[in-house]
Amino acid sequence: MYTPPSARAQAAYRNIAAQSSIEGATPHRLIELVFDGLLQSLRAARGALERGDLQAKGQQIGRAVRFLEEGLKGGLNDAQGGELAARLRALYDYCVNRLTTANLHNDAAALAEVEALIAPLAQGWRDIGPQAAAQRV
């Protein structure tokens, strides 16, 4: 299959940009990037579902589940996080269950519910970024 040079250049640029944003990022910034990727995947899945592109919908939901499982749940520290970590783990598990439902039943409402649950967390994480940076200094 032929890929135009402009498409290859765009893909290379995206890879370099992603790698550059990760290298040297603080732990706080890495979680922010996970939230951003998760929300982007949720929006892309909803768009794919609206277009009837079930393959893309499934791929994007799979990405969203990986962001939840490997990025957010994987980063929880139960020993230090205590009750907050336990509640976040339960929320992330619930979101994974809702995404599974969304994938199996082409349920746009379940996708919207997960986005509505995650968006305030992502915004809160962004909001505490300056405080986290000040504590490192």
Q: Is the pLDDT of residue 22 over 90?
A: no
Please state which of the ranges 58-62, 85-89, 131-135 shows the lowest mean pLDDT: 131-135
pLDDT at 31: 93
DSSP class of 126? H
pTM of the model: 0.81
Average pLDDT over residues 34-48: 97
Domain at 27-136: CATH architecture: Up-down Bundle (1.20)
Q: Enter the tokens of residue 101.
A: 């439902």
Residue pair 122/88 in contact by the 8 Å Cβ criterion: no
Q: Is the pLDDT of residue 7 over 60?
A: no
- CB-based burial of residue 27 (10 Å sphere; 0-12 exposed, 13-18 middle, 19+ buried)? exposed
